[in-house]
A = this chain, B = another copy of it.
């Protein structure tokens, strides 16, 4: 960056971090929301988040808010910066820009109430997309962009495994893809692809026996970040608003 000697008009603004935390539970994609305890948007639901403190790293602020507001330990999930939202009118209190983080994790142990009295709870993403729930601020925009990004990342990266609790079965992993993409995949071809993708899955050698059927082999996440070859969705999936795809 560069300071401008001429113009003095550079605002000092408040900076927040907001967390878009996705998980798959009960066969549907859920997002963690908190109920706001104060104005503005009191009583309305919003993404968890809060002010970045003096001298605090953005990533550190995200992890702290995650713990404070939801009781979740960030080391268990995949966390990455999504985008920064800086519309001057996005917060009625004044100029507040927010750095949004996207987090993907396994079904969590029932989000605890935060340090504040507000309670956090898992909400089906579908209810928000269909307009049955309205989010505070510009959080619905953040959610839509984050969802878009998550969907893209499933194709080209190994993040899908971040949704699974280790060790996991291939069927569980496939279930993630099916829920996030909203389509069904051929179990046999899916297995061939993911087991063939270098560094995606590490066989544990162990098996899990469910109530019924042949026991499934258990895997752990491999070291690969990128999926090669990518796990493409059938050629012409309708890609509404091609948006954000970030590889972390």
- Which A positions have Cβ atoms within 8 angstroms of B? 1-7, 9-18, 34, 36-38, 46-58, 69, 81, 83-84, 86-88, 91, 93, 95-99, 115-116, 118, 137, 149, 152, 156-157, 198, 225-226, 228-230, 232, 235-236, 239, 242-248
Task: Answer whether A15 and B14 are a contact pair too, CB < 8 Å, given A4-B51, A51-B4, A247-B152.
Answer: no
Judge whether B246 and A245 touch: CB under 8 Å. yes
User: Pick the contact of A86 from B36, B50, B52 — CB < 8 Å?
Assistant: B52
Judge whether A51 and B95 touch: CB under 8 Å. no
Judge whether B86 and A58 touch: CB under 8 Å. yes
Q: DSSP majority for the A interface? A: loop
Judge whether B247 and A1 touch: CB under 8 Å. no
Which residues of the other chain, B, contact A13 by a CB distance below 8 angstroms? Answer: 12-13, 15, 52
Judge whether B37 and A5 touch: CB under 8 Å. yes
Which residues of the other chain, B, contact A157 by a CB distance below 8 angstroms? Answer: 242
Which residues of the other chain, B, contact A137 by a CB distance below 8 angstroms? Answer: 1
A selection of 20 A-B contacts at a CB cut-off of 8 Å is A1-B17, A1-B50, A1-B98, A1-B137, A2-B49, A5-B38, A7-B53, A11-B15, A11-B52, A11-B53, A12-B12, A12-B14, A13-B15, A15-B97, A81-B83, A226-B242, A228-B235, A244-B248, A245-B247, A246-B246
Cα distance A246–B246 in the bound complex, in angstroms: 4
Which residues of the other chain, B, contact A46 by a CB distance below 8 angstroms? Answer: 1-2
Chain B residue with Cβ nearest A233: B228
Which residues of the other chain, B, contact A52 by a CB distance below 8 angstroms? Answer: 10-11, 13, 86
Chain B residue with Cβ nearest A235: B228
Cα distance A178–B234 in the bound complex, in angstroms: 28
Cα distance A69–B2 in the bound complex, in angstroms: 10
Contacts A1-B98, A11-B14 aside, 6 further interface pairs with beta carbons under 8 A come to: A1-B51, A3-B38, A5-B116, A54-B88, A57-B88, A84-B99
Judge whether B36 and A2 touch: CB under 8 Å. yes
Chain B residue with Cβ nearest A155: B156
Judge whether B86 and A99 touch: CB under 8 Å. yes
Cα distance A1–B228 in the bound complex, in angstroms: 36
How many Å from the CB of A221 to the closest CB on chain B?
14
Which residues of the other chain, B, contact A152 by a CB distance below 8 angstroms? Answer: 247
Which residues of the other chain, B, contact A37 by a CB distance below 8 angstroms? Answer: 5
